[in-house]
Amino acid sequence: EGIRYNLMVNGLPTGGYVHDLRLNNLSVFDEGSFVASSREQRLEIEIRTNGGIVAGEVHDAMKQLVDAATVVLVPEAPRRGNSFLYKRTTTDASGKFSFTGVAPGDYRVLALRVAPPTGAEEDPEYLMPFIGRGTAVRTTQATTSDAHLRVIEPQSCE
């Protein structure tokens, strides 16, 4: 019984990330949400400032760099319930992208020619056809992981 809460944390410094989320000293980080009851509970959010960086470039089938591609960082299961772990950006004019403040762990990075709807990368059904075409990366604190991606083109409508 109770209400399910999701949290959003804004204004983190460069390199900052949410390291843990604890409710009554029990980590709920992987789920990313929690149910609060009517009795008093203690919520702790642990922030660290030495997050990893995932950076790279996106190219097409002809090995041309792709500008304005949407790049999403998706945590590996079982951490996909945690919104803090997802990130989204767009490639610059030279096909490059960068994510800072990435919590240590394993991720998939996908580059999409057509931007998905806001938050779609957190929907398992939306993600299913694309996730296997992503590039696996592992981040650790204060390190940079390189990812060279091939853009995923929209499905042709024939």
The pLDDT of residue 109 is 98
- pLDDT, mean over the chain: 92
Average pLDDT value for residue range 93-113:
97
The pLDDT of residue 1 is 63
Query: What tens digit of pLDDT does each residue of 20-40 get?
Result: 999 999 999 988 888 887 788
Question: Buried b / exposed e across 80-89, counting CB within 10 Å, b at 16+?
Answer: bbbbbbbbbe
* Range from 7-11, 54-58, 102-106, 141-145 carrying the lowest mean pLDDT: 7-11
Strand ranges (E), 24-154: 26-27, 33-36, 43-48, 52-59, 70-75, 87-90, 96-102, 105-112, 135-139, 144-150
Q: How many CB atoms lie within 10 A of CB 59?
A: 18
User: Contact at 8 Å (CB) between 101 and 141?
Assistant: no
Q: How far are the Cα atoms of 127, 129, 136 from residue 132, in angstroms, in the given order?
A: 9, 7, 9
The pLDDT of residue 40 is 81
How are beta strands 17-23 and 26-27 bridged, if at all? antiparallel
Q: What percent of the chain has pLDDT over 70?
A: 97
- The answer, yes or no, to whether residue 157 has pLDDT greater than 50, is no
pTM of the shown model: 0.90
Q: Tokens in use for 63? A: 């090995």
Q: Tokens in use for 31? A: 């789920």
Average pLDDT value for residue range 113-137:
93
